[in-house]
Amino acid sequence: MRPWDGIVTADDIRATESAGFGRPSGYGKRPALLVIDVQYRTVGTQRVGIDEARREFATSCGNHGWRAVDRMRPLVDLFRRRGWPVLYPYVSPKQTFDQGRLAEKNPALMKIEGRGYDFVEEVAPREGDVLLPKKHPSAFFGTPLVSYLVDLAADTLVVTGCTTSGCVRGTVVDGFAYNFRMVVPEDCVYDRSQTSHAVNLFDMAAKYAEVAPAASVLDRLGELD
């Protein structure tokens, strides 16, 4: 079973495959892990359903996010054991001068209080990890991410976090454009809309990234020196 089964139609799958999309792009030799926007504003401080979680933070994905956090932990642990880089692109509080179109299109992001901007403890950054504040969906736009990755000689980016249809997809598309090999563990990303989550995973798998369960990604990474 894939996340898009029963959502993306058989006709759409057939049209995509017959056009030659979805071929494997493989893994490189020097991976880096991106943990995007895994803050309490995206999951809530309690493990509850999305409707209840949104009473705390309107932007919360509730248990959709918490399930993904649990799948991320082994990946984060593997990268740290291997000494591979872990980077945290994250939304930081907006100043009035840089809110721009984001404030108009997504005003709830401007009203986060309490622990909303704190990193989720289970996968929070540690000393030596790279913190990357961002102002827009893609972790590449207006940030030094490319410079860091060049310095680290990374050739493969494993992308986790949220939302699948927003910051994850924006980062994957831009990373692909920079010729990095992009890998998306499908159960380590999350979204408020399960339809958007599934359709965007299908589209990224077809065009931009290796999309596979976290267990499979862990196995592939474990084969690297």
So what's the pLDDT on residue 190? 98
- Closest residue by Cα to residue 109 from 175, 192, 52, 26: 192
> Which residues of the chain fall short of a pLDDT of 50?
none
Q: What is the DSSP string of 143-156?
A: SSHHHHHHHHT--E
State the pLDDT at residue 150: 97
> Is residue 223 within 8 Å of 79, Cβ to Cβ?
no
For residue 218, give both structure tokens.
């862990």
User: Which residue is associated with the tokens 């790279």?
Assistant: 130
What pLDDT shows up at residue 96? Answer: 60
- Write down the pLDDT at residue 99: 65
Domain ranges for the chain, please list them. 30-222
**30-222: which CATH architecture?**
3-Layer(aba) Sandwich (3.40)
